[in-house]
Chains A and B, each alone.
Chain A
């Protein structure tokens, strides 16, 4: 084994096949391979179809978000969070807003909380749709993916109605939303709630009891809860092992304690369980959205942000015509507002797990230090060790079910 690796640089082993006695083959899986769904590389040692060992190489799209964040005022960091997990960027945006609100002591109205819950659960559905759809594609079933992508499109149309963007949404502001949801958004949401369940049911009918799919996924990448916790896993893949850890329940934010929903858990932690857990989470998300719409009826209409003029940009027409608004606009943009000198850790349940924001503030215009606890980065480090002994085709679907998003991996 050892003479396979010329250690020119320790992190990026250059594999030279110079051992005629060896029966092993070196395979570069990635960095741009259709089956990896993102830019990351695994250098695998193969014995025929079976993986003997692997080295993960990441960082291909590292963009130094933590460094950039030290040079941006709070409201400009939202766009950085978009680009981490771009399959569910509204959750990242909301997580960041709530971190800053926690730091500043801003209490958001209940209506804002419920609107946020709707947006976050919709984006959780888009995240799981992508993951489970792609898992189907990787096991050779293309149809389900196409059904689901149509529904993802409908969710993106709702986002477009709310904030104008689809993928990197920059949705919401510190203190609430930039504008209220319009009637078209609610109409599209209601239409989605009506049309989506039959399609998800059909998708489940295609896969859940499908003999080929079960044979392909069951027992692949099975992980015990002890190992998963030891590797600091979080999110659906941890819950598939049977650990009922969900930030929405353990440390409720954005009024999640008002909602009635269940945390689905698996038993074996294999690819099949992760698939089932994600499907079930989509049903629970739908339940939450329906409850949120019901609760919104009891809230005063037209409230879409907290009353914090020091941090929430006033409407533009007021800036031009009203002295107070002009002062606040200037103070916010120039970063003249005093902020507490303290530190805060806030976690939200992202599509892939516990998405944490560790913010150290020194009272200045920008954070002194901002660290993102990115679930993909922490979940993915087990991939190479757990691949050893697997068939290559199993390792591919194992990677799909981990739902590693390159943007979140590298930040």
Chain B
């Protein structure tokens, strides 16, 4: 698939970032690794500007909520190197009590709405974002609805209880 082997990317990143670059895996061939919120901006800039890697295309930014874990919010970046035809996925776990992470809008203009969407649904605070406000939900919403503690429907509803359906 890609013109650069995943192992080469791993070598390069671990040489540059040492122990800040952790747990690389390859689900379905897509190199996935973790890092911390204080080096993510530096790492994204390195991946984007490195002369061999050229991860110049930001595919997506999103988040996942794992309520059982200490750092419950996991911000996920998908980068794509169009020249080398290879993708990477970067995960950064941050605590719900202090969900701050540096913005990627300094590197890609396209990160603007992706981060606003992530903030809107998960409450991740992207520090340095020019206009971090809700984008899809109404402005007076007080919660972050994609977090796991928010049920899809009002749990007090009785008209959808199973016993009405004979289950």
List A residues at the B interface (Cβ < 8 Å).
9-12, 58-59, 62, 64, 66-68, 70-71, 102, 227, 229-233, 243, 245, 250-251, 342-345, 347, 354, 356, 358, 360, 368-369, 371, 373, 377-378, 381-382, 410-411
A390 CA / B144 CA spacing, docked (Å): 37
Chain A residues lying within 8 Å of B15, measured Cβ to Cβ, are: none
> Is A232 within 8 A of B58, CB to CB?
yes
> Is A342 within 8 A of B27, CB to CB?
yes
Q: Do A358 and B82 form a contact, CB below 8 Å, given A66-B121, A381-B113? A: no
A382 CA / B27 CA spacing, docked (Å): 33
Q: Which residue of A lies closest to B64 (CB)?
A: A369
B137 at interface (Cβ–Cβ under 8 A)?
Answer: yes
> Is B59 within 8 A of A231, CB to CB?
no
> Is A371 within 8 A of B136, CB to CB?
no
> Is A9 within 8 A of B64, CB to CB?
no
A345 CA / B80 CA spacing, docked (Å): 12
B1 at interface (Cβ–Cβ under 8 A)?
Answer: yes
Q: Do A358 and B78 form a contact, CB below 8 Å, given A342-B27, A377-B113, A381-B110? A: yes
B108 at interface (Cβ–Cβ under 8 A)?
Answer: yes
Instruction: A229-B57, A360-B64, A368-B64 are known; give 10 further A-B pairs, CB within 8 A.
Output: A10-B133, A59-B137, A70-B152, A231-B108, A232-B57, A250-B85, A251-B1, A342-B27, A345-B28, A358-B60
User: 30 A-B Cβ contacts within 8 A?
Assistant: A9-B139, A10-B139, A11-B134, A11-B135, A58-B135, A58-B136, A59-B135, A59-B138, A66-B121, A66-B146, A229-B56, A229-B82, A230-B109, A230-B110, A232-B58, A232-B108, A232-B114, A233-B110, A245-B57, A342-B28, A344-B28, A345-B28, A345-B87, A354-B59, A356-B60, A358-B60, A373-B59, A373-B60, A381-B110, A381-B112
A344 CA / B87 CA spacing, docked (Å): 12
Chain A residues lying within 8 Å of B76, measured Cβ to Cβ, are: 358
> Is B136 within 8 A of A410, CB to CB?
yes
List B residues at the A interface (Cβ < 8 Å).
1, 27-28, 30, 32, 56-60, 62, 64-65, 76, 78, 82, 85, 87, 89, 108-114, 117, 121, 131, 133-140, 145-146, 152
Q: Do A71 and B152 form a contact, CB below 8 Å, given A9-B139, A342-B27? A: yes
Chain A residues lying within 8 Å of B133, measured Cβ to Cβ, are: 9-11
Chain A residues lying within 8 Å of B57, measured Cβ to Cβ, are: 229, 232, 245
Chain A residues lying within 8 Å of B140, measured Cβ to Cβ, are: 9
The 10 closest A-B pairs by CB, nearest first: A232-B110, A59-B136, A381-B113, A9-B139, A11-B133, A62-B136, A231-B110, A371-B62, A10-B133, A373-B60
A56 CA / B137 CA spacing, docked (Å): 14
A272 CA / B156 CA spacing, docked (Å): 55
> Is A11 within 8 A of B139, CB to CB?
yes
A347 CA / B30 CA spacing, docked (Å): 12
> Is B145 within 8 A of A67, CB to CB?
yes
Interface centre among B1, B135, B139, by most chain A C-beta atoms within 10 angstroms, is B135
